[in-house]
Structure 1
Amino acid sequence: MKKQKLKISTQSKVIIITIVLALILLCNVLAPYKEYIAGQILFAKDKLIYVKTDEEHSFKPTWNKMELVEKSTTPDDSVCIVSDMTKEQKKEWKINNKYSFKEFSDTDYVNMKFFNHIQRISSNQFLQISYTYKKPFLFAKPVGYRKDKEINEIEDFGENFGSRLTSIKLQIYDINKRKVTNDRELINTRLVSDRYVLLYGAAKEIVISKDRIENKPFFVIPLCSINEEHFIGGPYRRTIDKNGIYDYPSDYTNIYCFYSNRHTNWMDIESLGNLLKQNGVDLKGVMCLYNSIDYNDVNFLIKTESLPQKDAYLYKVYPGLKKYRGKKGKVAKIYLKGLKSSDELVSYFLPEGQNVNYGDGIEIELKDKKKVKINSLEEYFDSIAQEKNDSYEEREVKEENRLSADLFDFK
C-alpha cells in the first residue's frame, strides 16, 4: 500500500507562512520587553504559589497601638508617643542601645522595624511603611538556603527565608485628626518588573527620604542575599508618586536616617551620652539618635521603667508621661524638634530649674584623638572650633532637605 503524501493547499501554505512571519515580528517587537514579560510571568506564578501570609517577617500598621500622643507644652515642636514595646524592640533593645550613643557610619542601615517604620514629616503628621510577605503553600528550600546559625541576621531576607514581598504600603497619620489621611500601595508594574527586589529586598530596613533635586520623596530598600550567585549590590532606590514607585531619584545622597552626628548647639552624640550619664541617666534604658532625614532633629526613646523621678522637668514638658513611671514593657518615643541645645534635653531628667551638671569635666575626643575635658557646652564648642570647617558645615542638614508633608500631596 503506497503512502499518500500530505497535500497542503496553497491557501494553507500562505496562512502558515503568515503566522510564522507574524510570530517572528511579534518576537522582535517584544524583544526589548522580554525581561519585563518574564518578570510578569514569574510574578503571576508567585501569586499562585505564595498564598499564606508570613506573619513573622511581615509588618502591620501600629497607629491603633499608640496609648499616649502628646505635644510638648514648651515652645519647641516636639511630640511624645507611648506604646507597648513590640517583640522586635524587646529582642533588639540591647543591640540598638549599644550603638545608640555612637556615630553611625555612612554604610550603616538601620532596622527601621525597631522604630515601627515611623518617620515624622510635619508638626502633626507621621508616615509609616508596612509590608506583607507570603509563604509558598508547599515548602521548598530556596536556592542558596543555609542553616548556618552564626550567619549575620541582616543576611536573612527575601529568598533566604522562602517568602516573597507582595505588598509595601505607605500610610500617613495625622495626630491632630487622629486618623490615617493617606494610604497608598507602592508595589506596582514598575516594581514587579524589578522582581529581584521582591526576592531580596530587606523590607525591615526601608527608609523614605527626599530627592533634593526633583523635590519628591523616594524610598530605599537595601538588598541582600547569602547566595552569592544572586547577590545584587544595593540599595534599591526609586521615587514615589501617586501610582507608587516609578523612577530612579536624581539625588539620593541623604539615605541614612541616623547618620548626621551634629546639630547646631548640640554636642556630638557620644559626648551627649557621657553628659547624660553624668546627670544620673541610666543609658541602658534610653536611646538617642540624631536624625538626618525626617522633620524632627532627634529621635529619643525611653523605656517607661527608666523614666526619671517624679519631680523631673520632663513631666512639665509632657504631663501625660508621668503616669507611666515604673511601668514595664512600654516605650516613650520622643520626636524632638526645635530644642535650643543638647543641654536642654539633659535638663529633662533633672528637677525644673536645676543646672546641667558637668561634674569634674566631661571628656571629649578631638579629631587628632586628643582627649580634653569640658565644663560647659560653651567650652565644648570652643574646643572643637578648629574643626568647624566646610565638611563640618555640610553635615548640618538644612530644613529644605528634610522630609515634609507637601511631598506626599500626590496629584
Structure 2
Amino acid sequence: MSPDGISYCDPDDAPEDDEASVMTEMLRRSQGLSDEALPGLPSAAEARTPRRVLSLAECVVRPDAAYVVKGIIRPRNVILLVGEPGAGKSLLAPLLGHRIGAGRTILGRRTRLTRVLYVACEAGDDMQERFAALREREGDSDLHLWPHPVNLTEPASGDAEELREVMLQLGAGVLILDTLPSAFPALRENDPDAMGAAVRVLRDLSHATGCAVVAVHHPAKGGETGRGHGLLTGDADALILVRGERHEDRTIIMKKNRNGTCAGTEGFSIETVDLGVDDDGDRILRPVASEAHREEQVREPKGKRLTDAQAGWLRELADLFATSAAVVVRPPKSGMDPVRCLSRGSLRSGLRGSGRFDLDSHGNLTAKDRDRLREALNQLKDKQKVGLSDDWVWLI
C-alpha cells in the first residue's frame, strides 16, 4: 500500500505468464479508467482467458446476424454520413432515422424496426420543423428528437453520461449525431490524440447502450473521407458519402463498408413540404429528402401500358429488388454496364412466399409455376420493364 492509499502492482513480482494482465491493470489505474473506458484493452480477468484460433473450416456465415440496415448498419456500429454543405446530409439523416423507426426500406435495404434518437446539436428549432415536414410526407415513426446542443469534447460537461442515460431510458437502438463538429465543439480534428478521444466517446456510447451511432460530418479536402485525422474514418464501420447541390438529385456512395459491399450507388431527391401559413400569412415551407421515385416507378410505369396483372408482377419484383440480400451489382450481359441484378434462382426463391404459386411438397416451384413466371418475365421484358439474360434479371 502506497502513502496515497493506492495499491500498486510491480510487474517484477508477477509470474511471467501473468505479466500482460498486470501491465494492463497498471495502465488502467494510472489513468483512473474503468474497464469500459478503455476500449480495446482487455480487463485482467479477460487477459487470463485463453482465446482460441479458428480454422478456415470453422469460419461460417451467420444467417441470423443482427442488423439495423441490412448490409450497412449493425448494432454497436459507428457510421459516418459525410457530405459537403448543401449536399443534403442533414436531410438524408432524418429520412434514415425515420425509415429505421418505421421498419421501412432505405437505400434499397431492409431495416429492422428500431427506436431512434436524433440529436440536433445545432438549429434544434429548425430541425423540429423539418421533422414535422417529414411526418407530413412519410407518416409516423418511432423517431425521437433531442433539439439541444451537447458538448462531448469536455468530460466535465456530463453530456456524454446524460446521452447514455437518455438512450437507455428511451430504449433506443440508434443514435444520430448531427453534426459531429457541433457535438464536439472546439475539437482539434487534425490532432490524433484529440480525434482519438472523440472516437472513444463514440465507441463508449455505442457499447454502453448497444446502439448504432451515426455521425453526420463534413468531408476532408477532396471529399472522399471524413474531415480530420484519419483515425475517425479508419475506425468507422461504414462511410456513406452524399454528393449533389442546388436542385439536382443527390447521389449516395458507400466509400467504406465492413458489413457488406460498396458496389453501386443510390440516390434521393429533395422536396418541399407545405406546413401551412405563419402569422403573417406566408407559406411555411420545409425541405425533406425523398425516395418516393422508387414507388412512383411502379405505380406509374413509363413506356408501354401494363395490364393489372403485369403491374402486380412488377410491384412484387420491385419490392424483391429493394429488400433482397441476393441483389448484386454486375454486368448482366457482356458489354453492358453494371446494374442491380438477381439471378434467376434467387428470383424464384424470393417469390416463393408471394402466394402466386402452388409449391410442391418440398416448397419449390412446380413446372407449371416456372412456366407462369417465365411468361410474366417475358411480358415485362416486351413492355421494357425488365431485362433478361440466361442467368440474370434486372429492372429497367
Fold in common (TM above 0.5): no
Larger relative strand fraction = 1
> Structure 1-normalised TM-score?
0.26
**Structure with bigger RCO (C-alpha 8 Å, 6+ apart):** 1
TM-score of the two chains, using structure 2 as the length reference: 0.27
